[in-house]
């Protein structure tokens, strides 16, 4: 695995001022590489709205990190995290049914997470993106390590993440994350109706994992 060149790149905690450039990064490089939206047939306009909201929710959490190219100041990678909250309220009634089904799946995947890990405080890693032009520079690993440090400083005893593509699964394996749960989409049933949602199973990304690491 490549190590980050600290003469070329700088890691730092993201802030509210970084929201616009983080949105640009995520909309350009996170969405095209997130097959879960396609699996649940979520429309692109709804994908963009959800990703924009997630950036606003997590960018200034104190747990999110960005990787910047020193020579240009360009944001080339970001990992967005927030404190895990298992007191989720009802789903928004104005969400399209496809988006509602996807959110229900993600909520189901991370159900009872504090109890499963016997954790007091968890940093939940929400979304990550790296500009493909800067791939193979050790950016994903460096961001993960930086966010682990931020989480530990904030009093978290665990970090956890939901992985929905084979690429993030491979990256997670390389940095030693442990698998708590794994489910193939063909086996998933809506927890309320016990019926299979309307899904597209044509993607090579055919399963999801919930992974964690003790700090």
Could you read off the pLDDT tens digit of each residue along the chain, which spans 215 residues?
Answer: 678 999 999 999 999 999 999 999 999 988 777 789 999 999 989 989 999 999 999 999 999 999 999 999 999 999 999 999 875 555 556 789 999 999 999 999 999 999 999 999 999 998 999 999 999 999 999 999 999 999 999 999 999 999 998 888 988 998 999 999 999 999 999 999 999 999 999 888 899 999 999 99
Residue 136 lies in a domain: yes
Say how far apart CA 208 and CA 8 lie, in whole Å: 34
114 found inside a domain: yes
The CATH number of residue 126's host domain is 3.40.630.30
Cβ 63 vs Cβ 82: under 8 Å: yes
Per-residue confidence (pLDDT) for residue 91, from 0 to 100: 54
Is 2 part of a structural domain of the chain? Answer: no
User: What stretches of the chain show up as alpha helix (H) in DSSP?
Assistant: 19-25, 35-39, 44-58, 97-109, 113-117, 139-153, 166-174
pLDDT at 1: 63
Name the domain count of the chain.
Answer: 1
What's the Cα-to-Cα distance from 162 to each of 45, 137, 215, rounded to whole Å?
A: 22, 23, 17
Residue 4 covered by a domain = no
3 belongs to a structural domain: no
Give the model's pLDDT for residue 2: 77
Q: Is residue 183 part of a domain?
A: yes
Residue-level pLDDT at 94: 78
List, in order, residues 6 or more apart from 17 with CB less than 8 Å away.
none
CA distance 213 to 215: 6
- Domain interval for residue 37: 9-214
Q: Is residue 35 part of a domain?
A: yes
- Token couple for 177: 């994350």
SS3 content of the chain, % helix, strand, coil (to 5): 40, 25, 35
Looking at residue 93, its pLDDT comes to 63
Q: Are 162 and 150 in contact (CB under 8 A)?
A: no
Q: What is the pLDDT of residue 90?
A: 53
């Amino acid at each position: 695995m490549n190590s980050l060149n600290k003469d070329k790149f700088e890691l730092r905690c993201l802030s509210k001022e970084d929201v616009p450039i983080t949105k640009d990064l995520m909309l350009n490089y996170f969405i095209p590489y997130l097959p879960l939206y396609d699996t649940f047939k979520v429309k692109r306009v709804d994908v963009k709205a959800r990703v924009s909201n997630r950036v606003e929710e997590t960018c200034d959490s104190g747990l999110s990190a960005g990787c910047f190219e020193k020579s240009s100041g360009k944001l080339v990678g970001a990992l967005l995290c927030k404190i895990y909250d298992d007191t989720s309220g009802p789903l928004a009634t104005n969400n399209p049914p496809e988006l509602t089904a996807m959110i229900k799946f993600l909520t189901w995947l991370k159900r009872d997470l504090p109890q499963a890990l016997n954790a007091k405080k968890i940093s939940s890693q929400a979304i990550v993106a790296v500009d493909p032009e800067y791939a193979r520079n050790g950016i994903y690993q460096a961001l993960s390590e930086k966010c682990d440090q931020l989480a530990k400083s904030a009093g978290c005893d665990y970090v956890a993440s939901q992985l929905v593509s084979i690429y993030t699964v491979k990256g997670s394996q390389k940095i030693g994350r442990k698998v708590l749960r794994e489910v193939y989409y063909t086996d998933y049933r809506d927890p309320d109706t016990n019926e299979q949602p309307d899904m597209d199973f044509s993607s090579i990304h055919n399963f999801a994992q919930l992974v964690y690491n003790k700090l």
